[in-house]
Amino acid sequence: MTTRILIADDQEDVRIGFRLILDSQPDMTVVGEAADGHSAVELARHLRPDVVLADIRMPRLDGLEVTRLLAGQTRVVVVTTFDLDEYVHTALRNGACGFLLKRSGPALLVEAVRAAMAGDTLISPQVTVRLLAHLRTPAAPSAPSALAEPLTERELEVARLVAHGRTNAEIAAELFIGSGTVKTHVANVQRKLAVANRVGIAAWAWGSGTVTGP
Protein backbone atom coordinates (compact mmCIF):
# COMPACT_ATOMS: atom_id res chain seq x y z
CA MET A 1 0.00 0.00 0.00
CA THR A 2 1.32 3.43 -0.94
CA THR A 3 1.77 5.99 1.82
CA ARG A 4 0.25 9.35 0.87
CA ILE A 5 2.21 12.36 2.16
CA LEU A 6 1.50 16.09 2.48
CA ILE A 7 4.51 18.42 2.79
CA ALA A 8 4.02 21.70 4.68
CA ASP A 9 6.97 24.11 4.55
CA ASP A 10 7.22 27.77 3.58
CA GLN A 11 10.46 27.22 1.66
CA GLU A 12 9.91 25.96 -1.89
CA ASP A 13 13.37 24.42 -2.17
CA VAL A 14 12.71 22.32 0.96
CA ARG A 15 9.39 21.10 -0.45
CA ILE A 16 11.05 20.20 -3.75
CA GLY A 17 13.85 18.33 -1.96
CA PHE A 18 11.47 16.38 0.26
CA ARG A 19 9.26 15.51 -2.73
CA LEU A 20 12.23 14.15 -4.69
CA ILE A 21 13.31 12.00 -1.74
CA LEU A 22 9.86 10.66 -0.91
CA ASP A 23 8.58 10.15 -4.46
CA SER A 24 11.69 8.07 -5.17
CA GLN A 25 10.46 5.48 -2.67
CA PRO A 26 8.34 2.71 -4.23
CA ASP A 27 5.81 2.80 -1.37
CA MET A 28 5.43 6.58 -0.98
CA THR A 29 3.85 9.41 -2.94
CA VAL A 30 3.52 13.14 -2.22
CA VAL A 31 -0.12 14.13 -2.76
CA GLY A 32 0.15 17.81 -1.89
CA GLU A 33 2.24 20.75 -0.75
CA ALA A 34 1.43 23.73 1.47
CA ALA A 35 3.45 26.91 1.98
CA ASP A 36 1.70 27.96 5.20
CA GLY A 37 0.05 26.32 8.19
CA HIS A 38 -3.53 27.29 7.38
CA SER A 39 -3.27 25.79 3.90
CA ALA A 40 -1.69 22.68 5.41
CA VAL A 41 -4.68 22.09 7.69
CA GLU A 42 -7.18 22.71 4.88
CA LEU A 43 -5.33 20.45 2.45
CA ALA A 44 -4.92 17.70 5.05
CA ARG A 45 -8.65 17.70 5.75
CA HIS A 46 -9.41 17.64 2.02
CA LEU A 47 -6.77 15.19 0.77
CA ARG A 48 -6.68 12.97 3.89
CA PRO A 49 -2.98 12.05 3.61
CA ASP A 50 -1.50 9.27 5.72
CA VAL A 51 1.35 11.48 6.94
CA VAL A 52 1.88 15.25 7.13
CA LEU A 53 5.43 16.58 7.28
CA ALA A 54 5.15 19.96 9.01
CA ASP A 55 7.78 22.64 9.45
CA ILE A 56 7.50 24.63 12.68
CA ARG A 57 8.01 28.20 11.48
CA MET A 58 5.35 28.86 8.84
CA PRO A 59 3.10 31.86 8.10
CA ARG A 60 -0.52 32.06 9.33
CA LEU A 61 -0.32 28.92 11.51
CA ASP A 62 2.92 27.46 12.82
CA GLY A 63 3.68 23.76 12.71
CA LEU A 64 2.95 23.28 16.40
CA GLU A 65 -0.62 24.51 15.96
CA VAL A 66 -0.96 22.46 12.76
CA THR A 67 0.07 19.41 14.77
CA ARG A 68 -2.47 20.13 17.49
CA LEU A 69 -5.29 20.60 14.98
CA LEU A 70 -4.50 17.46 12.97
CA ALA A 71 -3.45 15.02 15.71
CA GLY A 72 -5.93 12.19 15.87
CA GLN A 73 -6.96 12.77 12.24
CA THR A 74 -3.65 12.00 10.58
CA ARG A 75 -0.04 11.31 11.55
CA VAL A 76 2.11 14.44 11.82
CA VAL A 77 5.90 14.38 11.76
CA VAL A 78 7.51 17.72 12.62
CA VAL A 79 10.57 18.44 10.48
CA THR A 80 12.46 21.58 11.42
CA THR A 81 15.75 23.44 11.41
CA PHE A 82 15.27 24.64 14.97
CA ASP A 83 16.54 22.32 17.70
CA LEU A 84 14.91 24.03 20.68
CA ASP A 85 13.61 22.34 23.82
CA GLU A 86 10.33 24.26 23.81
CA TYR A 87 9.60 23.19 20.23
CA VAL A 88 10.34 19.52 20.87
CA HIS A 89 8.28 19.46 24.04
CA THR A 90 5.27 21.27 22.56
CA ALA A 91 5.27 19.27 19.32
CA LEU A 92 5.22 15.95 21.15
CA ARG A 93 2.65 17.10 23.68
CA ASN A 94 0.47 18.27 20.77
CA GLY A 95 0.49 14.76 19.32
CA ALA A 96 3.35 14.69 16.82
CA CYS A 97 4.35 11.21 15.68
CA GLY A 98 7.96 12.24 15.31
CA PHE A 99 10.39 15.14 15.54
CA LEU A 100 13.08 15.33 12.89
CA LEU A 101 15.82 17.88 12.26
CA LYS A 102 16.20 18.83 8.61
CA ARG A 103 19.93 18.20 8.81
CA SER A 104 19.27 14.56 9.73
CA GLY A 105 19.35 13.57 6.03
CA PRO A 106 17.12 11.76 3.53
CA ALA A 107 17.42 8.26 5.02
CA LEU A 108 16.07 9.40 8.37
CA LEU A 109 13.26 11.33 6.66
CA VAL A 110 12.08 8.16 4.93
CA GLU A 111 12.49 6.18 8.13
CA ALA A 112 10.38 8.71 10.06
CA VAL A 113 7.50 8.32 7.61
CA ARG A 114 7.71 4.54 7.80
CA ALA A 115 7.85 4.64 11.60
CA ALA A 116 4.75 6.84 11.74
CA MET A 117 2.87 4.44 9.47
CA ALA A 118 3.92 1.49 11.65
CA GLY A 119 2.63 3.18 14.79
CA ASP A 120 6.15 3.85 16.01
CA THR A 121 7.89 7.17 16.59
CA LEU A 122 11.20 8.48 15.32
CA ILE A 123 12.92 11.36 17.06
CA SER A 124 16.24 12.74 15.82
CA PRO A 125 19.02 11.17 17.90
CA GLN A 126 20.41 14.66 18.56
CA VAL A 127 17.39 15.61 20.64
CA THR A 128 16.45 12.31 22.29
CA VAL A 129 18.64 12.51 25.39
CA ARG A 130 17.71 16.10 26.09
CA LEU A 131 14.03 15.34 25.50
CA LEU A 132 13.98 12.55 28.05
CA ALA A 133 15.74 14.72 30.61
CA HIS A 134 13.12 17.41 29.99
CA LEU A 135 10.24 14.98 30.43
CA ARG A 136 11.69 13.74 33.73
CA THR A 137 11.00 17.13 35.29
CA PRO A 138 7.55 18.27 34.14
CA ALA A 139 5.67 21.11 35.80
CA ALA A 140 2.88 18.87 37.06
CA PRO A 141 3.63 15.13 36.83
CA SER A 142 0.71 12.70 36.79
CA ALA A 143 1.17 9.74 39.09
CA PRO A 144 0.17 6.30 37.76
CA SER A 145 -2.37 5.97 40.58
CA ALA A 146 -4.11 9.18 39.49
CA LEU A 147 -5.46 7.57 36.32
CA ALA A 148 -9.23 7.05 36.17
CA GLU A 149 -8.54 3.56 34.79
CA PRO A 150 -5.16 2.32 36.07
CA LEU A 151 -2.79 0.42 33.82
CA THR A 152 -2.32 -3.29 34.40
CA GLU A 153 1.15 -4.59 35.27
CA ARG A 154 1.63 -5.77 31.68
CA GLU A 155 0.50 -2.41 30.32
CA LEU A 156 2.99 -0.67 32.62
CA GLU A 157 5.74 -2.92 31.27
CA VAL A 158 4.76 -2.02 27.73
CA ALA A 159 4.60 1.70 28.60
CA ARG A 160 8.11 1.58 30.08
CA LEU A 161 9.50 -0.11 26.98
CA VAL A 162 7.75 2.38 24.69
CA ALA A 163 9.34 5.16 26.76
CA HIS A 164 12.75 3.60 26.09
CA GLY A 165 12.09 3.75 22.35
CA ARG A 166 11.43 0.07 21.72
CA THR A 167 9.46 -0.90 18.63
CA ASN A 168 6.51 -3.30 18.79
CA ALA A 169 8.72 -6.12 17.52
CA GLU A 170 11.36 -5.44 20.19
CA ILE A 171 8.72 -5.31 22.93
CA ALA A 172 7.23 -8.58 21.72
CA ALA A 173 10.64 -10.28 21.81
CA GLU A 174 11.51 -8.89 25.25
CA LEU A 175 8.19 -9.86 26.84
CA PHE A 176 7.80 -13.13 24.91
CA ILE A 177 4.42 -12.16 23.48
CA GLY A 178 3.09 -11.70 19.95
CA SER A 179 3.33 -8.44 18.01
CA GLY A 180 -0.46 -8.36 17.77
CA THR A 181 -0.70 -8.55 21.54
CA VAL A 182 1.75 -5.67 21.87
CA LYS A 183 -0.37 -3.55 19.52
CA THR A 184 -3.43 -4.29 21.66
CA HIS A 185 -1.58 -3.30 24.85
CA VAL A 186 -0.29 -0.09 23.24
CA ALA A 187 -3.81 0.82 22.08
CA ASN A 188 -5.19 0.17 25.57
CA VAL A 189 -2.48 2.30 27.18
CA GLN A 190 -3.16 5.17 24.76
CA ARG A 191 -6.87 4.98 25.55
CA LYS A 192 -6.36 4.95 29.32
CA LEU A 193 -3.86 7.81 29.20
CA ALA A 194 -5.95 9.75 26.63
CA VAL A 195 -2.91 10.33 24.42
CA ALA A 196 -2.73 10.37 20.62
CA ASN A 197 0.32 8.19 20.04
CA ARG A 198 3.41 6.43 21.41
CA VAL A 199 5.17 9.70 22.13
CA GLY A 200 2.30 10.59 24.45
CA ILE A 201 2.89 7.30 26.27
CA ALA A 202 6.61 8.06 26.58
CA ALA A 203 5.92 11.58 27.81
CA TRP A 204 3.56 10.25 30.49
CA ALA A 205 5.97 7.49 31.54
CA TRP A 206 8.91 9.87 32.02
CA GLY A 207 6.81 12.67 33.45
CA SER A 208 4.98 10.49 35.99
CA GLY A 209 8.10 8.78 37.28
CA THR A 210 7.04 5.41 35.85
CA VAL A 211 10.41 5.40 34.11
CA THR A 212 13.27 6.75 36.22
CA GLY A 213 16.45 5.26 34.82
CA PRO A 214 18.24 4.39 31.59
Tens-place pLDDT, residues 51-99: 999 999 999 999 999 999 998 889 999 998 876 767 887 888 888 988 8
Whether residue 47 has pLDDT greater than 50: yes
The answer to whether 94 touches 64, Cβ cutoff 8 Å, is: yes
Whether residue 30 has pLDDT greater than 60: yes
Whether residue 200 has pLDDT greater than 80: no
Q: Is the dihedral of CA 114, 59, 80, 123 positive or negative?
A: negative
Q: Looking at residues 129-142, what average pLDDT do you find? A: 52
Decide which of 192 and 130 is more confident: 192
Mean pLDDT over each residue of the chain, to the nearest integer: 85
| 105-132: burial string, b at 16+ Cβ within 10 Å, e else | eeebbbbbbbbbbebbbbbbeebeeebb
Q: At what angle do helices 106-117 and 12-23 cross, to 10 degrees?
A: 70
pLDDT at site 140: 44
Q: Looking at residues 161-181, what average pLDDT do you find? A: 86
- Measured CA to CA, the distance from residue 206 to residue 134 in angstroms comes to 9
- Measured CA to CA, the distance from residue 3 to residue 195 in angstroms comes to 23
Label residue 139 by pLDDT band (50, 70, 90). very low
- Does the pTM surpass 0.75? The reply is no
Whether residue 202 has pLDDT greater than 60: yes
* Amino acid making up residue 21: I
Whether residue 141 has pLDDT greater than 50: no
